Amino acid sequence: MDYETIVQLTTGALKVCLIVSLPVVATAALSGLLVSFLQAITSLQDASISQLAKLIVVTLVVLIGAPWGASVIAGFARSVTQVIFQ
């Protein structure tokens, strides 16, 4: 395996990591922003409300997106094994 192949595989791995984690991170950020906005409007300044809301939303996104994420990772693993065994 030459240097260019290793660089391509590493770049691909980083892209897969970014693509798979982006929905969860974006959902956590948006739900935190929304809950903070609602807390500012209603003057409820309890940190556990924000954490509970983010936990529920992120858990739902992980459960819904897990099959898609697993298929992306499995496809990348297949391509890596094809490159290795050629």
Joined tokens for residue 33:
């922003």
Nearest to 19 by CA among 81, 76, 84: 76
Query: pTM surpassing 0.85?
Result: no
pLDDT at 6: 92
User: Has residue 1 got a pLDDT over 80?
Assistant: no
What does the alpha-carbon distance between residue 46 and residue 63 come to, in Å, rounded to a whole number? Answer: 27
Nearest to 20 by CA among 68, 56, 58: 68
Question: Which residue, chain included where needed, has tokens 């595989």?
Answer: 9
pLDDT at 34: 93
pLDDT in tens, 20-53: 999 999 999 999 999 989 988 998 888 888 899 9
Are 27 and 61 spatial neighbours (Cβ–Cβ below 8 Å)?
yes
Q: DSSP assignment, residue 72?
A: H
Percent of the chain with pLDDT over 90: 78
